[in-house]
Each structure stands twice: as structure tokens, then as C-alpha cells.
């Protein structure tokens, strides 16, 4: 699987991936995190235009997508717990795959970690699938953060 920046022509496929993810999450005990319409098309389109949306491609087909930025996330400034370090970091958000390539999300995380060597990510308490995947990929639980709408998220970090 190869990772590349998403382009605007990819948008319909990315929205379909996120539709698939919302169904998967609901079927696995996590109907709340992304609800029925997150992420909205405007957010994904903005992430593409800003150069922060990436795709995993296998056999010339998009099988995964995620947001990556080497910039700090304001939601991570306050944590109930402690980050592993205070060094500059990258962030991953909204990672998903279509389920056809085993380990696709892990490949995406490995790529993102390779960009910065200090990576933070968060997930919903009910997203046990993601929590397990993060732990399997060497991320450590650091505590709880609150996103812009006040909802809590479990915070993870991986560092060299």
C-alpha cells in the first residue's frame, strides 16, 4: 500500500470511506463518535485543499484515508494525565479504511510516525477497535483531552 496526498478528485471516494466507517463504528458499539454525518464534506474538502488529507492506495484503488498535520493541535494543550514529552509533534485524525486490505490503518500510522517521530492521536472511549489498534502500533495511553465541543477523548502518543 502506498500513501499519497489526497486530491479533490478523490473526494467522492473519501466520503464513501467515511460512510463505511460510520456504519462499522455503529456496528462495533461506537455509534456516537462520528454520528450520522461526521466528518462533513466541507471539512474533508478543506483538509484536501490544505494538503492535510492523505490516502492509502492498493492496486490503484483508495483503501484508506486520514488527516495528518505536523502542526500542534489546540485540543491537545490541556490533558487530564500527561503527554510522554513536550517536543513538537504531528497529529492524525479521522483515520479509516474500507476493510479490504489487512493492516491498512497501521500502514497509515506508520507513515505518519515516519514523518515526525512524535505522533499524537485521540479516540472515543467507545472506539475499542481503534484503542486496540493504537496499542498494537506502540501508542501509549496518556490521559483524556476535550475536543472543541467539550466531548472527551482518550489521548495517545507514540515517540521515538
pLDDT, mean of residues 123-138? 97
What's the first-to-final CA gap in the chain, in angstroms?
23
Over residues 69-94, mean pLDDT: 97
Burial class (CB within 10 angstroms; exposed 0-12, middle 13-18, buried 19+) of 29: exposed
Find the Cα–Cα–Cα–Cα dihedral 91, 93, 98, 101, rounded to 10°: 20
| 132-149 pLDDT, tens digit each | 999 999 999 999 999 999
Query: Collapsing DSSP states into helix, strand and coil, what is residue 25?
Result: helix
How many domains, the chain? 1
Q: Which CATH number do you get for residue 71?
A: 3.40.630.30
For 114, the 3-state DSSP assignment is: helix
Q: How far apart are CA 35 and CA 19, in angstroms?
A: 10
Domain range for 102 is 2-159
> Rounded CA gap, 50 and 102, in Å?
29
pLDDT tens by residue, 26-58: 999 999 899 899 999 999 999 999 999 999 999
- pLDDT of 47 reads 98
- Maximum pairwise Cα distance, the chain: 42
Grid cell, residue 159, equals 515517540
H helix intervals, 76-155: 104-116, 128-136
Q: Please give the average per-residue pLDDT across 15-22, as a whole number.
A: 97
Task: Note the pLDDT of residue 124.
Answer: 97
User: Which residues are within 8 A (CB) of 137 and not within 5 positions of it... i.e. 6 or more apart?
Assistant: 106, 109, 110, 158
Residue-level pLDDT at 76? 98
Predicted TM-score (pTM) of this structure: 0.95
In angstroms, the CA 29 to CA 129 distance is 9
Residue pair 101/63 in contact by the 8 Å Cβ criterion: yes
Beta carbons of 96 and 66 less than 8 angstroms apart: yes
Amino acid at each position: 500500500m502506498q500513501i499519497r496526498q489526497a486530491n479533490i478528485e478523490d473526494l467522492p471516494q473519501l466520503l464513501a470511506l467515511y460512510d463505511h466507517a460510520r456504519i462499522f463504528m455503529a456496528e462495533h458499539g461506537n455509534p456516537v463518535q462520528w454520528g450520522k454525518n461526521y466528518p462533513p464534506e466541507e471539512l474533508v474538502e478543506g483538509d484536501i485543499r490544505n494538503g492535510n488529507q492523505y490516502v492509502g492506495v492498493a492496486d490503484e484503488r483508495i483503501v484508506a484515508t486520514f488527516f495528518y498535520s505536523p502542526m500542534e493541535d489546540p485540543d491537545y494543550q490541556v490533558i487530564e494525565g500527561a503527554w510522554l514529552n513536550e517536543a513538537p509533534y504531528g497529529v492524525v485524525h479521522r483515520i479509516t479504511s474500507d476493510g479490504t486490505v489487512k493492516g491498512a490503518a497501521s500502514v497509515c500510522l506508520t507513515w505518519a510516525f515516519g514523518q515526525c517521530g512524535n505522533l499524537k492521536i485521540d479516540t472515543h472511549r467507545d472506539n475499542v477497535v481503534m484503542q486496540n489498534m493504537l496499542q498494537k502500533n506502540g501508542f501509549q495511553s496518556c490521559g483524556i483531552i476535550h475536543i472543541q465541543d467539550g466531548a472527551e477523548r482518550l489521548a495517545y502518543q507514540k515517540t521515538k
